[in-house]
Amino acid sequence: MLNIPEELATRLNLLEDYLPQILELGLRELNAISQTGFTGMAEVLEFLAQLPTPEEIIALCP
């Protein structure tokens, strides 16, 4: 059994069909925080916007 704040429970009830995806994405983000490299799509996009060299792209660790 999970104990979560009432406000969060209300928000999640509205997205009940997406709950497995929400949890999976949240866990991936939490795991990415402890790893070196990029933690989110925004950082990857910022990296690509800098027009990296082919070598820098190959070395990319998302």
Pair of tokens at residue 3: 């104990």
Confidence (pLDDT) at 38: 60
The answer to whether 26 and 18 have CB atoms below 8 angstroms apart is no
Segments in the chain forming alpha helices (H)? 6-14, 19-33, 41-49, 54-58
Residue scoring higher pLDDT (6 or 60): 6
Query: Average pLDDT in the 15-31 region?
Result: 90
45-59 residues labelled b (16+ CB within 10 A) or e (exposed): eeeeeeeeeeeeeee
Where are the domains positioned within the chain?
A: 6-58
Query: Average pLDDT in the 30-51 region?
Result: 76
The answer to whether 15 and 22 have CB atoms below 8 angstroms apart is yes
Spatial separation of the C-alpha atoms in residues 30 and 49, rounded to whole Å: 25
**At 14, is the pLDDT very low, low, confident or very high (cuts 50, 70, 90)?**
very high
